[in-house]
């Protein structure tokens, strides 16, 4: 009888230790709450772009996670430019979007995907503006650091002095680093 009691007692202690190990492995990087992030990217322009250098992307976003997996990028303010026309060709965008974060894949790392939609303004003297959107995916390395690939697209509409409406598309595919504050 003492042996059965000892085996049952060992099973209880072992199962509770195993349960603590399991629950510690399911903690995700973005477990609820809100956080401000800085996004830094570098990549190449696509679309109706001529004679551009390396594309640079700088952004600030406020993200609220409703659960461990689903979040809302409430406000995303970003600016894109290229290294050849750094001060002349600045594209400022204001977007909002959704974010998905997977359960933990390895250690504290998880995978994310995001999509956003908004409006952009090209700040040179052409008065170009229009619809902006982006999609991206990457890995949350730590709770305050992520790395991913993002495609950002902007459709511009320009009215010239002859009242002709011209449109063109500019895209930026970039490697983006996210830093949580």
Q: pLDDT tens digits for 80-120?
A: 988 876 666 788 999 999 999 999 888 889 999 999 999 99
Q: Where are the beta strands (DSSP E) in 27-164?
A: 33-47, 55-65, 70-82, 91-101, 110-122, 128-142, 145-159
Alpha carbons 61 and 123: distance in angstroms, whole number: 21
From 44-48, 68-72, 90-94, 137-141, the region with the lowest mean pLDDT: 44-48
User: Terminal CA-to-CA distance of the chain, rounded, Å?
Assistant: 58
Alpha carbons 122 and 51: distance in angstroms, whole number: 17
Flag whether pLDDT at 140 surpasses 90: yes
Which comes out higher in pLDDT, residue 5 or 88? 88
pLDDT tens digits, 143-178: 889 999 999 998 877 665 545 556 778 889 999 999
Alpha carbons 144 and 181: distance in angstroms, whole number: 7
All domains of the chain in start order, with CATH: 25-180 (2.40.160.20)
75 falls in which pLDDT band (50, 70, 90)?
very high
pTM of the model: 0.74
Nearest to 155 by CA among 46, 32, 65: 46
């Amino acid at each position: 009888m003492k042996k059965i009691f000892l085996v049952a007692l060992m099973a209880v202690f072992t199962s509770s230790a195993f349960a603590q190990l399991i629950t510690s492995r399911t903690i995700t990087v973005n477990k609820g709450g809100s956080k401000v992030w800085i996004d830094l990217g570098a990549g190449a322009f696509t679309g109706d772009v001529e004679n551009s250098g390396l594309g640079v992307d700088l952004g600030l976003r406020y993200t609220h996670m409703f659960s461990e997996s689903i979040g809302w990028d409430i406000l995303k303010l970003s600016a894109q430019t290229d290294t050849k026309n750094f001060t002349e060709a600045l594209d400022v965008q204001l977007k909002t979007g959704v974010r998905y974060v997977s359960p933990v894949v390895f250690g504290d790392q998880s995978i994310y995907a995001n999509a956003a939609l908004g409006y952009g303004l090209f700040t040179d003297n052409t008065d170009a503006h229009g619809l902006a959107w982006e999609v991206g995916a990457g890995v949350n390395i730590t709770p305050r650091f992520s790395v991913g690939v993002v495609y950002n697209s902007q459709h511009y509409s320009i009215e010239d002095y002859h009242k002709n409406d011209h449109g063109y598309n500019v895209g930026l595919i970039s490697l983006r680093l996210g830093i949580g504050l």
